[in-house]
């Protein structure tokens, strides 16, 4: 498909393309949140298998770098979901 055909499609249906962009951001953000949570649970399960301690003590065994990385991915995932909501809201006005 040529660039001119894509541009004419955008001019004909701008709200639909904005909704597609919002859907992309929502799927990417949700996947990132799920993957981060799954990675966090697997890490805690691995620590629990190695050291049979209480659950509160297991959370403190994660390294500071891992905790910072998880916080970053959680923030980025929620930002993607917020951006998807904003783009979806904007698309209703197109």
- Residue range 22-66, pLDDT digits in tens: 999 999 999 999 999 999 999 888 877 877 666 555 556 678 888
Which residues, in sequence order, are CB contacts of 83 under 8 Å at separation 6+?
A: 25, 29
Q: What is the pLDDT of residues 68-84, one digit of tens each?
A: 999 999 999 999 999 99
3-state secondary structure string across 35-91:
HHHHHHHHHHHHHHHHCCCCHHHHHHHCCHHHHHHHHHHHHHHHHHHHHHHHHHHHH
pTM, entire model:
0.78
């Amino acid at each position: 498909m040529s660039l001119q055909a894509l541009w004419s499609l955008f001019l004909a249906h701008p709200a639909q393309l904005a909704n597609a962009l919002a859907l992309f951001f929502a799927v990417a953000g949700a996947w990132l949140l799920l993957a981060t949570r799954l990675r966090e649970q697997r890490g805690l399960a691995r620590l629990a298998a190695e050291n049979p301690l209480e659950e509160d003590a297991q959370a403190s065994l994660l390294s500071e770098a891992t905790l910072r990385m998880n916080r970053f991915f959680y923030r980025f995932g929620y930002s993607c979901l917020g951006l998807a909501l904003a783009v979806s809201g904007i698309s209703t006005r197109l």
